Structure 1
Amino acid sequence: MTETPVATDDVLRKRALEALNTARARTRLLTECVDDRELTAQHSPLMSPLVWDLAHIGNQEEQWLLRAVAGRDPIRPEIDSVYDAFEHPRAERPTLPLLSPAESRTYASDIRGRVLDVLEAHPLHGSPLVDSAFAFGMIAQHEQQHDETMLITHQLRRGPAALDAPEPPGGGTAGLPAEVLVPAGPFTMGTSAEPWALDNERPAHHRHVDAFFIDTTPVTNGAFQAFVADGGYTDERWWAPEGWDQIRRHDIGAPLFWRHEGGQWLRRRFGVTEPVPEDEPVLHVSWYEADAYARWAGRRLPTEAEWEKAARHDPASGRSRRYPWGDEDPTPERANLGQRHLRPAPAGAYPEGASPLGVRQLIGDVWEWTAGDFLPYPGFAPFPYREYSEVFFGPGYKVLRGGSFAVDAVACRGTFRNWDLPVRRQIFSGFRTARDA
């Protein structure tokens, strides 16, 4: 099991400051590239108006860092209910008395200024909430998660492109095996040592996993097109009953944002229509679509334990790494993270990010659906509030692993667990397949 060295308060403050500043710079990018009309519009009933996310980020920061950590009196208690994600579903948020874009920016900026004062002076030890600057790391992750949500809203919005980014590095699967054997045996799943790990990643525990094969890279658009061309969306054999009902009821015949025109597949990506690149990991597919493809291919989705063993286990040492490549933080040479690019890199990219067994792109590019339900680990304890994880446990949600190009490194680890409804397609989701050895 990886042990993280104990850091001094100065080191922790620097790390927390960098994480908070990186998140805020991205929030500004996502909210300043469109006008106020676009900020207040609801671009899809699946998503909040961008201005709601902006003020919600500030409100969570106030509640946790100013009130819970610093013990300060509330600044805007009257808006707590408005920006409570559990009290108001996304579809009804435009009807709430939201702060205007100018008010939201001022509020978030005011809160951040006060938070930086707290970070500079508050001891970073003495309680679980502040040990290792956990609360500051939690809030940085929260903001980055909402930045990812806002990027999804940008993908759903109509109109000309508002965002730009350089192309990702090239890839290529020539010379790569199609799949890799992961030997049977135990490994350490989860973490008890990662200081900013969230409650559902804890505690570390041993799992035995039977031998299995897993795809070397995520399933590509080209491979998925073969499923479509073979009538995959019209053959009930491949579909879970709920998935079959979903695609029939909504007339789904391809990944979200795809359309067939002039003899080729096109897609809409952040305001630009372009040919679907065959060598890129498939994106915007639901769990049901991923599961159906895997069955059609004579394979299956990996279990969550299989995915994590492939991503973290080092057969030579027997220990679990923080990331596939080792314990060092992600770099641009290892993974496609942080909205550095606005698309996944081609399959086979990032050889420096490969696991010890040679599995690639396990971190970044696309969230990967796994087979299992979102359930607690043995010994799970909710922290610091039940609504982060516990209320979602059960058969209704499926687990995604590995992050995507839309995820910042602060909110992406080898142990990080994401979850969503199996019908979700607007998220930056793809998958890879596995089979028994």
Structure 2
Amino acid sequence: MTVDTSSEELRRRAVDTLTRARDRTTLLTSSVEDNDLTAQHSPLMSPLVWDLAHIGNQEEQWLLRTVGGRDAIRPDIDSIYDAFEHPRSERPTLPLLAPAEARAYARDVRDRVIDVIERTPLHGAPLLDAGFAFGMVAQHEQQHDETMLITHQLRRGPAALTAPPPPAGDVTGLPPEILVPAGRFTMGTTAEPWALDNERPAHQRLVPAYYIDTVPVTNGAYLHFVEDGGYAQERWWAPEGWAQIQQHGIKAPLFWRQEGGQWLRRRFGVVEAVPADEPVLHVSWYEADAYARWAGRRLPSEEEWEKAARHDPATGRTLRYPWGDGEPTAEHANLGQRHLQPAPVGSYPKGASPLGVQQLIGDVWEWTSSDFLPYPGFVAFPYREYSEVFFGSEHKVLRGGSFAVDAVACRGTFRNWDLPVRRQIFSGFRTARDV
């Protein structure tokens, strides 16, 4: 697929995408009092006010200084908001900008960036082609918006955010699994203009036939594993995972608890019954792997997930999204914090892949069995710290995006990664099996 877009359209897309990200950042940072912005709600996460100023600082460094050639506004804070220099656990001890100052700084940067967009030719250099730098920064902000939403979930206290419930699901007539035939397909991308370095380049993969779940594993299905003593039987667990649940006394997904014989969950300040038909959420890679073993199945590899999501066996084409090349709409997927929870399985039949696999985009990030590794021919761009420094066996790949992901940071080729112990993220999974 080749994208040929005029400079005027690219500028409009850049402004619209950056504005959408900033509107969401504003919602996430204006819905709580200043003391909640400056507090650290978990050692795993930054104070919300750090994320806010970090967003502005990255935008200043990349779009004002690098792309626009403008003088630095606040070079004195570059070190404070360097994510690699300061781990999250120590960020509250830094001399952070106060909430009002952070808001003013981010607003000042954005006002100047709009002028840069209008004056910058969107061609002639890799950072400029198709407005890549603006898309990269918009994706960065939306990724931090998802991180801030995770912090909201970890935050104690009454609900600060609201959203309408997702649409109802219907799995009537859906098979439990789909056969993906053996053969080659094109994995990754070369043509997607705002794709990040770890998604590139496009290359051929030969994948044996396999079966994959039609929909993600639900809370109801996962509950069978819990009630069958899955957390008490070492045979289902990888050694590191077994050690983790033993050390921390883990007996169910994060934010679940049993009360009076009923399973409840805490979701953004609201305690409610665990809905059986939603994809299971807040499980680690170890939990997903253990469930798959218990069910006599396995997690799909990254290439199996992408083939199920993008390959059209009728035409041999590789699609941008499961439903085709068009941008996501509310009929295709649960994205963009439109709902503050996954949608029940069977909610988005129009988002199905050509093979009939559903809800591959949105709802929950899906753990795969794969380590986060570079594709053949990978080239770090525009800096090593985005992907390259994370490559290796320590991180597992997640695919598909969650309800907290914006469309700009979610596509059939998008790769997320995290440590296999992580549970606070909006992670779920589906399973696969060999033919």
Q: Same fold (TM over 0.5)?
A: yes
Q: Distance in 2 between matches of 1:366 and 1:18?
A: 25
Deviation at 1:363, TM superposition (A): 0.2
* 2:52 is equivalent to residue 54 of structure 1: yes
Letter of the 1:81 counterpart: S
Cα RMSD of the aligned pairs, angstroms, is: 0.4
Letter of the 2:161 counterpart: L
- Could you say which residue in structure 2 is the equivalent of 1:315? 313
Letter of the 1:216 counterpart: T
Letter of the 2:117 counterpart: L
* 2:395 is equivalent to residue 397 of structure 1: yes
Letter of the 2:60 counterpart: E
Alpha-carbon deviations, 1:258-313, whole Å to 9, x = none? 00001010000000000000000000000000000000000000000000000000
- Could you say which residue in structure 2 is the equivalent of 1:171? 169
Q: Distance in 1 between matches of 2:33 and 2:332?
A: 35
Q: Distance in 1 between matches of 2:43 and 2:310?
A: 37
Q: Distance in 2 between matches of 1:117 and 1:195?
A: 22
Deviation at 1:72, TM superposition (A): 1.3
- Could you say which residue in structure 1 is the equivalent of 2:257? 259
Question: Runs (4+) of structure 1 moved beyond 3 Å?
Answer: none
Letter of the 2:345 counterpart: A
Q: Distance in 2 between matches of 1:113 and 1:263?
A: 54
Deviation at 1:430, TM superposition (A): 0.1
Q: Distance in 2 between matches of 1:210 and 1:198?
A: 27
Alpha-carbon deviations, 1:185-219, whole Å to 9, x = none? 00000000000000000000000000000000000
- Could you say which residue in structure 2 is the equivalent of 1:16? 14
Q: Distance in 2 between matches of 1:174 and 1:39?
A: 45
Q: Distance in 1 between matches of 2:359 and 2:127?
A: 33
- Could you say which residue in structure 1 is the equivalent of 2:88? 90
Conserved 8 A contact 2:142-2:405: yes
Query: Percent of aligned positions with the same letter in both sequences?
Result: 78
Matches within 5 A, 1:398-437: 398-437=396-435
Letter of the 1:381 counterpart: V
- Could you say which residue in structure 2 is the equivalent of 1:118? 116
- Could you say which residue in structure 2 is the equivalent of 1:198? 196
Q: Distance in 1 between matches of 2:125 and 2:354?
A: 37
* 2:283 is equivalent to residue 281 of structure 1: no
- Could you say which residue in structure 2 is the equivalent of 1:81? 79
Q: Distance in 2 between matches of 1:51 and 1:269?
A: 22
Alpha-carbon deviations, 1:322-347, whole Å to 9, x = none? 00000000000000000000000001
Q: Secondary structure at the match of 2:3?
A: coil
Match of 2:335 among 330, 337, 349: 337
Conserved 8 A contact 2:212-2:431: yes
Letter of the 1:235 counterpart: Q
Q: Secondary structure at the match of 1:160?
A: coil
- Could you say which residue in structure 1 is the equivalent of 2:358? 360
Q: Distance in 2 between matches of 1:340 and 1:199?
A: 28
- Could you say which residue in structure 1 is the equivalent of 2:231? 233
Conserved 8 A contact 2:3-2:192: no
Q: Distance in 2 between matches of 1:369 and 1:36?
A: 35
Conserved 8 A contact 2:332-2:350: yes
Q: Unaligned regions of 5+ residues in structure 1, if any?
A: none
Q: Distance in 2 between matches of 1:248 and 1:52?
A: 33
Q: Distance in 2 between matches of 1:343 and 1:220?
A: 13
Deviation at 1:6, TM superposition (A): 1.4
Alpha-carbon deviations, 1:146-205, whole Å to 9, x = none? 000000000000000000000100102121000000000000000000000000000000
Q: Unaligned regions of 5+ residues in structure 2, if any?
A: none
Letter of the 1:388 counterpart: Y
Q: Secondary structure at the match of 2:326?
A: coil
Q: Distance in 1 between matches of 2:277 and 2:4?
A: 42
- Could you say which residue in structure 2 is the equivalent of 1:70? 68
Question: How many residues end up aligned between the 2 structures?
Answer: 435
Q: Secondary structure at the match of 2:385?
A: helix
